[in-house]
Amino acid sequence: MRYRRPGLDGLTHLLLIIGVVIFGLPLWLALTASTHSAADLQNGIAPLWFGDQGLANYWQLLSQPMPGLGVSALRLLGNSLVMALGIALGKIAISLLAAYAIVFFRFPCRTLCFWLIFVTLMLPVEVRIVPTYGVVARFGLIDTYAGMILPLIASATATFLLRQCFLSLPSELFEAARLDGAGPLRFLKDFVLPLSRTNLAALFVIMFIYSWNQYLWPLLAANSPDHATAVISLKNLVQSTDTLPPWQLATAMTLLTVLPPVVVIVAMQRFFVRGLTDAEK
């Protein structure tokens, strides 16, 4: 329902503008600060307009080792991309098979299995970080991509969302596929996956952003700069004991770190919205 009231429209636009300013001002200050030299930022006042060192700052980040890390921003962004894609795709693959088995297969304790998975929502990464680190270290996976990805690829949230999606599929579809001679794998490939692609796309966006923003687990699992992520590098850039932090590089790296999730959201916006709003098949 839409209301056509001038006062209400004006208030709505005012709130929208305030929201845009609140969320956009930090990004604008980071963008303008990334185009100034280190000397311009040492007075503690954030510039509101662009400087003349933007290309030089970004070129230094992308082509030279970063201060305090010894690797370039491209390597850090690549590590973050590998970890985010591995975790997001792994979560979707495992959750897809788990939800498919719970909904379409009949076996003893099926409901109990689902609730046992669901209960793990009460155990976030921070709670089980110590035993998880012990297991990964025992298998010799510290400072490897497998060690950064495998402990995070199980998701009760994704299993629950996909279960609800599969339950909304009409039961007549399963009966028709079975009469047509379709086995479980063919039914999954030809019927379930096409009907759930928007939900899977929305889930991928959420899981990619969750994985990209991970800080605590990569900080423990990646000891060398060769496997450090872009999020971890932000803290190392501003952590300096002898000299003033290179704020122009820190703000530039902040924008480079924000860019990949924004690209994923923009590229998959249509699927993301439909996946969150489609309830009936």
Q: How many whole angstroms separate alpha carbon 184 and alpha carbon 105?
A: 9
Those residues whose C-beta lies under 8 Å from the C-beta of residue 142, and which sit 6 or more positions away, are 136, 221, 223
More confident residue, 218 or 45: 218
Report the pLDDT value the prediction gives residue 171, as an integer from 0 to 100: 80
Q: Is the pLDDT of residue 35 over 90?
A: yes
| Whole-angstrom distance, CA of residue 76 vs CA of residue 207 | 19
Residue whose C-alpha is closest to residue 218's, from 57, 87, 38:
87
Q: What torsion do the CA atoms of 25, 31, 37, 41 make, to the nearest 10 degrees?
A: 20
d(CA 98, CA 265): 26
Please give the pLDDT value at position 240. 62
125 pLDDT higher than 70 = yes
Residue 187 has pLDDT above 70, yes or no: yes
Q: Are 145 and 86 in contact (CB under 8 A)?
A: yes
Is pTM, for the whole model, over 0.85?
yes
- Which of 69, 101, 208, 86 has its CA nearest to residue 144? 86
Name the one residue in this structure whose structure tokens are 């909304």: 168
Higher-confidence position of 45 and 189? 189
CB contact at 8 A, 100 and 114: no
Nearest to 155 by CA among 82, 84, 198, 94: 94
pLDDT mean across residues, the chain: 88
Predicted local distance difference test score (pLDDT) of residue 134: 94
Q: Specify whether the backbone of 140 is left (phi greater than 0), alpha (psi in -120 to 50) or beta.
A: left
d(CA 132, CA 28): 39
Exposed, middle or buried: residue 96 (CB in 10 Å: 0-12, 13-18, 19+)? buried
Sign of CA dihedral 152, 83, 159, 177: negative
At residue 121 the predicted structure's pLDDT band, cuts being 50, 70 and 90, is confident
| Tokens encoding 193 | 């996956």
110-137 b/e with 16+ CB inside 10 Å = b? eeeebeebeeeeeeeeeeeeeebbeebe
- 223 neighbors 17 (Cβ within 8 angstroms): no
Amino acid at 74: L
Residue with the larger pLDDT of the pair 4 and 190 = 190
Question: Of the ranges 42-51, 56-65, 77-86, 145-154, which one carries the lowest mean pLDDT score?
Answer: 42-51
Task: Say whether pLDDT at 281 is over 60.
Answer: no
Tokens representing 63 are 């082509």
Q: Residue 92: pLDDT above 90? A: yes
Q: pLDDT digits over 139-154, tens only?
A: 999 999 999 999 999 8
The whole-number pLDDT of residue 120 equals 87
State the maximum Cα–Cα separation within the chain, in Å, rounded to a whole number. 75
Split at pLDDT 50, 70, 90, the class of 3 is low
